[in-house]
Amino acid sequence: MLAWLKSNSTTHRAATDLYGCVVAQAREPVFYRDFGVPDTAEGRYEMIVLHMFAVIERLRNNAQTRDAERLARELTSVFVTDMDDNFREMGVGDLTVPRKVKKAAGALYDRTMAYRALAGDGDADGLAAALAENCGLGGATVNGAALAHYLKQLERSLAEQPDAGLLAGQVQFDSVPWPGACQP
């Protein structure tokens, strides 16, 4: 019993650390200043989802272990808890929060499935269009092609990182290139 509790505690701590890295990377000003993502709660959400997708895919594809699966589930749980906390902090009513959290979690799932299908098929144009549409909230013009290229670079970078580091909650994100440098 104690081993199970310790394992859960270790996994939760690793997921919390990974999520902190995801959020920090998603807050990089270059996404909002140069890629055209709106600097709003919705735009920041989309950047978190983009980075969550990349990390979850890395865990899913390159670390085919029970620990990686458990960490991916716990990372998603930490994301959902953060969404709940943020909605409450933004003043959303207690009765509305569960619906909004469910919608945010559903959107993470939907985008993960869409990005996985488009990236897996090598459909760079489709991925760029999906990213531009999801991140181009309120009519913002988002450089979807640059975001798609960035995502591909991010996936390659994450694939090179050791499983042990990720399972311990350590991830290293490269600096975000200027969108003009993001050419396929």
What are the tens digits of pLDDT across the range 128-145?
Answer: 999 999 987 767 788 899
Q: Are 114 and 139 in contact (CB under 8 A)?
A: no
Question: In the predicted model, what is the mean pLDDT of the chain?
Answer: 87
Share of the chain above pLDDT 90, in %: 59
Is residue 5 scored above 50 in pLDDT? Answer: no
Q: What is the pLDDT of residue 182?
A: 47
Q: How many Cβ atoms sit within 10 Å of the Cβ of residue 91?
A: 6
Share of the chain above pLDDT 70, in %: 90
What are the tens digits of pLDDT across the range 77-87?
Answer: 999 999 998 88
Q: What is the pLDDT of residue 66?
A: 85
Identify which of 15, 13, 45 has the alpha carbon closest to the alpha carbon of residue 27.
45
Name the least confident of 101-110, 130-139, 160-169.
Answer: 130-139
